[in-house]
Structure 1
Amino acid sequence: MTLNLITKSQSNSISSKILTIHKLSSNEKPLGTSKLIRKKLQINHIKLKKYSNNIYKKLIQNIANMYNLNKKQIVLGNGSDEFLSLLCFTCLKEGDEVIISEHGFLLYKTQVLVARAVPVIIKDSNNKVNINNIIRSINTKTKMIFITMPTNPAGLFLTSREINQLSTLLKSTNILLILDMNNSEYVKDDRYSIKITTNIVIIKTLSKTYGLASLKLGWMYSRNNLIKSIEKIKSPLNINKITQITGSVVLSDSEQRRLSRSFNVFWLIKIIICLRKANFIIDRSYANFVVIKLNKKLPILLIENYIAKCNVNVRRMSEYKLFNSIRVNVGSPHENIKLINQFKKLKKQKFVLVTHKTEKYTTQYWKN
């Protein structure tokens, strides 16, 4: 059965008896929700007993205005994740192939398998999507290509030139180039601009930069016929009223958007510089997280538990085929300092593998 091929996504939270846990494992915005949103979102002033479609249309119009897009080619979703299942359900049939990078979002493969299609996993180059490997994998069965921009967990992206090259190649085909741009608001680079063509699908979220992770609000932009097909099968009430109202407010909050970007750039660079000075291997990242490569001699769970001693949760990357690596997202100043200091202590810490033998069995455990 298809379900037997799917691995359930696991939370990386470390249990602790301490009430204060600093979670740097889920890419949540450290600055929280802005004062403007909290001020305008007064629950007692919002009528919740009736369905509302007017706010939904207003939110789509606001997105169209902000990004200079055609509102008829925009659809809202319950987070960006919903679009992955809708796209696979709409566009795939049994035996179709979908190209996914080896470090791509795990849900890509899951949704492709649920649609009874075939995920084709290509090799990345230095944690970045390899255009040539994509091109070599294309055949008559290929229906979609999923690309995360910037990638999660590595935080790298394909340039506009590379995307245009791939898009031009696909122009004569019916293959959809799906750009999952969940963390795009953090990228400040002139090479990141995308020229939208008929075979490109853009998926974005308002969860990251705006501090709305719990509301799960996403949107998708594509050609008219695909949007109409998605509209036919999605729930007409997939976005609740509170989320719609909040989405409209945050799009007008340019000051909060600027503050969030500046804060992220400052602390991302500081974390990278401090840990590189401590001789950790960290590549450049354009998102709100970094991947830290660790000593192969030590089990990654041991490292994760050591970091958790200061009540900081991080995420190991084994499920993304990045072994002996941990991903951490930018947190509050206090959390970032705790993280940096704990990693510095880790570099000086000595771990010993203890072997205990008896007549019946042998046990091993790490001791520091």
Structure 2
Amino acid sequence: MDRRKFLTGAGAGAAGVTLAAPAIAQSAPQVRWRCTSSFPKSLDTIYGGAEDVAKYVREATDGAFDIQVYAAGEIVPGLQAADAVSSGTVEMCHTAAYYYVGKSPTWALGAVVPFGLNARGMFAWLYYGGGIDLLNEFYNTQGLHYLPTGNTGAQMGGWFSKEINSVADLNGLKMRIAGLAGRVMEKLGVVPQQIAGGDIYPALERGTIDAAEWIGPYDDEKLGFYQVAPYYYYPGWWEGNLVLNSFVNTESWNQLPDIYKSLLETACRAATIEMLAEYDFKNPQALQRLVQQGAQPRPFPQDVMQATFAASQEVYAEINANDPAFKKIYDSMMGFQAQTYLWQQVSEYTFDTFMMIKQREGALAGQK
């Protein structure tokens, strides 16, 4: 059945009833936006977040609100996406806010910070803990409106050309690592590098860097890191989740009709759930393939975990002492952190731990 004909009453005359067109179709203005992504099309899951948003908005308005998505490099390089929005070159971008910590460390709080929240905790804080409003107090000063648009879940700790057996092995290591994690790693002797996703493999291959983190098995397999750096460490303690986000130019946002604002917010929420679910479905299979191709998953040694946690607290103390904008948002986020981990360990953790033990025993139905 043609949905549009049905909604306008075509074919409904059997009972002498004519259905009115939806209110949005009667008064929807034509809006055409460009959205530049920080990601290449080849990374279909993370790039797909922006495409999902565009699709949902386009369908809901019968094409009246049309967002055209462009991959990294088609309009501006991936790490310049937010700048293109604030300058008005494009109306919108899809990116990770922590790419711009060079401007201010506060940018990272809209994405993820080391030893921060997991995905569920981040969702709770953003949507119910006032996180989005707090972040927009800051991003609005940059000419941007912030909308969470995707999440990867907890990430892997990255690919290393040599084994990491202790904290001492980090000293002098050149590593591609994003966000505030670079400042944490610097305290342990690492030389951090910020490199766009598509440039990581050649840097590893040439030895320009010794290690790199990206996201997790599904994307990492596509990027081929296992071919040049076999040791695959976990967890990515700097990314217990990663919120991808849309930035909208504030002038463009303010000019949108309220119904379009609501649609865009809803579409971004839907894309967030889609991305997390897609990664959760694809990562297990990709990890198994990576191991078959020679990848060697390894847990970070406990002394590395303890040292990086301590270093992260030093970084936060330094930033909080000098950056009121960061401290205001950080205090809210971390104030919720203790609560969410208290709750998650009561039921979620005990259930998951029991089921993980059963998985190791080969007792789950899917293993028989």
* TM interval, short-chain normalised: under 0.3
Instruction: Flag the structure with higher helix content.
Output: 2
Instruction: Name whichever structure is richer in strand by fraction.
Output: 1
- TM-score computed with the length of structure 1 as normaliser: 0.25
